[in-house]
């Protein structure tokens, strides 16, 4: 789920909050370290909100189910690619 999208600097960049769902079989992000995720060009993960804890993004952190992932995009045309990245596969249902 992409739950929030905010324009930064009058549209110069976008901040996105996406929720990771599923498991390592049904998700392209759950169970992966941040450095293993194939992000669209110009996209950076800034932080993970896990329950009541905010984790600054480091390559060794693994995404867990229900993590809120805060991403920054230079090109708002890539928002759809980020949405696809966080969609779960059919094995989730």
- The domain limits of the chain are 2-92
DSSP code, position 90:
G
- 2-92 sits in which CATH class? alpha beta
Confidence of residue 32 (pLDDT cuts 50, 70, 90): very high
Q: What integer pLDDT is reported at residue 93 of this predicted model? A: 45
| pLDDT tens-digit map of 47-85 | 999 999 999 999 999 999 999 999 999 988 888 999 999
Tell how far CA 62 is from the center of its chain: 12
Across the chain, mean pLDDT equals 90
Instruction: Please tell me which residue, 71 or 12, carries the higher pLDDT value.
Output: 71
Neighbour-count burial of 80, counting CB atoms closer than 10 A to its CB (0-12 exposed, 13-18 middle, 19+ buried) = exposed
- Portion of the chain with pLDDT greater than 90, in percent: 67
Q: What integer pLDDT is reported at residue 90 of this predicted model? A: 57
């Amino acid at each position: 789920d992409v739950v929030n999208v905010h324009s930064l600097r009058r549209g110069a960049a976008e901040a996105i909050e996406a929720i990771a769902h599923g498991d390592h079989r049904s998700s392209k992000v759950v169970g992966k370290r941040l450095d293993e995720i194939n992000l669209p060009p110009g996209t950076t993960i800034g932080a993970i909100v896990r329950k009541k804890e905010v984790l600054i993004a480091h390559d060794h952190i693994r995404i867990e189910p229900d993590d809120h992932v805060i991403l920054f995009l230079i090109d708002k045309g890539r928002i759809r690619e980020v949405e696809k990245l966080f969609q779960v596969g059919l094995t989730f249902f």
